[in-house]
Amino acid sequence: MLAAPGTLPNDDADWAYEVKFDGIRASGYVTDSLRLISRNGNDITAAWPELSGLAPADPQYVIDGEIVVFVDGRPSFGALQPRMHQRSPRAIAALAASTPATYVIFDLLHIGDRSLIDLRYLQRRQLLEQIGLYGAHWQISPRLNGRGEDLLAETRRMQLEGLIAKRLDGRYLPGRRSRLWTKIKNIVTADVVIIGWQSGSGRRSGSIGSLLVAVPDTTGNLVWVGNVGTGFTDAMLQDLQARLAALQRDTPPVINDAAAGGVLWVDAVLVGEVAFTEWTREGVLRHPAWRGLRDIDPDQVAPRPT
């Protein structure tokens, strides 16, 4: 189930509020061992060995949550990046020791032989809290007390991404984006598909100067929505250059004019997240900054607003 973007509800009494954590969405299947499945259906268990202590469980259960790396008490998407696509067992073990993750659990979908998705959110939440999932590397997402307006202001003060508002009587809708879960962001972000890059200058000469990015239109065709030239660390640039080198193609994978010379086009398979100020009237991102790669498929990227 996915949250829909929106504004704070007018009726606080009918909603629960949780922090919007900046991490990787994952379902956890807890049996004799733990199996973690990403939003696009990949088994990512091996990448997060510090979470294995959740298992075994009797009865077995299925949970939903966000894998987060905390730095100074706040979620850090940048600290999470080096771990997202790591495949070397030795490197994974080293990163798990140096930048351990926390699985922030916010829903209970199944327990024993019983599915819970048709229960109201509040019932599922109460059952989740009864299990008591608190450990060195996992915790239940806190339910926040107070008015939505005050809670959002507090997340802004703490430089957090925002809030998730959840209807107390809402069912869990697998695979659907619903306003029963509404995300209210302090930071405006969007998922985008990388379609090409241009070389930089100065200290970034010969490396990536900017990425060309796209999103689907309402018919599913990719359209260019801007170039992203800020927000990168040196490690991000090195990783992106290695990935994009294997994806080069001769033609742009978009249907509109990307309006750029000297572009190295790539197959549209990598998805990233950008922060930006607004969409322009022309449908281009204003002042986008790179935040990092995302573990989702291009067909899961939301269309450009119309």
Residues 89-107: pLDDT tens digits? Answer: 999 999 999 999 999 999 9
Q: What is the mean pLDDT of residues 34-59?
A: 95
pLDDT at 58 over 70: yes
pTM recorded for the entire structure: 0.78
pLDDT at 208 over 80: yes
What span, in angstroms and rounded, lies between the C-alpha atoms of 3 and 161? 14
Q: Are 292 and 78 in contact (CB under 8 A)?
A: yes
48-57, 199-208, 264-273, 285-294: which has the minimum mean pLDDT? 199-208
Query: What does the alpha-carbon distance between residue 116 and residue 62 come to, in Å, rounded to a whole number?
Result: 10
Q: Check whether 60 has a pLDDT greater than 90.
A: yes
How far is residue 250's CA from residue 186's CA, in Å, rounded to a whole number? 39
With beta carbons less than 8 A apart as the criterion, state whether 21 and 142 touch. Answer: no
- pLDDT class for 123, splitting at 50, 70, 90? very high
Work out the average pLDDT over 134-158: 95
- Which residues participate in catalysis according to the annotation? 20
Q: What is the mean pLDDT of the chain?
A: 93
pLDDT digits (tens, 9 = 90+) for 279-288: 888 899 999 9
Q: Which residues contact 134 (CB under 8 A, 6 or more apart)?
A: 140
The answer, yes or no, to whether the previous bond of 305 is cis (omega within 30 of 0) is: no
Q: 134: which 2 tokens?
A: 């608190």
**Angle of helix 77-84 relative to helix 234-245, nearest 10 degrees?**
40
Report how far residue 300's alpha carbon sits from residue 154's, in angstroms, rounded to the nearest whole number: 31
Task: Tally Cβ neighbours within 10 Å of residue 260.
Answer: 14
Enumerate the β-bridge partners of residue 153: none
Phi then psi for residue 75, to 5 deg, are: -60, 135
Distance CA 29, CA 160 (A): 28
Strand segments (E) across 24-92:
24-30, 34-38, 61-68, 70-71, 74-75
Distance of alpha carbon 189 from alpha carbon 38, whole angstroms: 20
CA–CA separation, 240 and 190 (whole Å): 18
303 neighbors 218 (Cβ within 8 angstroms):
yes
> How far, in Å, CA of 247 to CA of 253, rounded?
12
Give pLDDT, residue 260. 65
Domains, the chain, in order of start with CATH, read 2-185 (3.30.470.30), 189-300 (2.40.50.140)
Does 259 have pLDDT greater than 70?
A: no
Q: Supply the pLDDT for residue 252.
A: 92
**Model pLDDT, residue 300:** 92
Mean pLDDT of all residues in 29-37: 98
Query: Do you find a cis peptide bond into 56, omega within 30 degrees of 0?
Result: yes
- The residues facing 110 across adjacent strands are 62, 115
Residue 303 is classified by DSSP as P
Pairing of strands 15-19, 162-167: antiparallel
Q: How far is CA 135 from CA 3, 83, 305, in A?
A: 27, 21, 41
Residue with more model confidence, 301 or 259: 301
The span from the CA of 255 to the CA of 283, in Å, is 14
Query: Could you tell me where the beta strands, DSSP code E, fall in 200-270?
Result: 208-216, 222-228, 264-265
Cα 250 from Cα 47, distance rounded (Å):
34
The predicted pLDDT at position 70 comes to 94
CA angle in degrees (0–180, nearest 5) for 176-181-184: 125
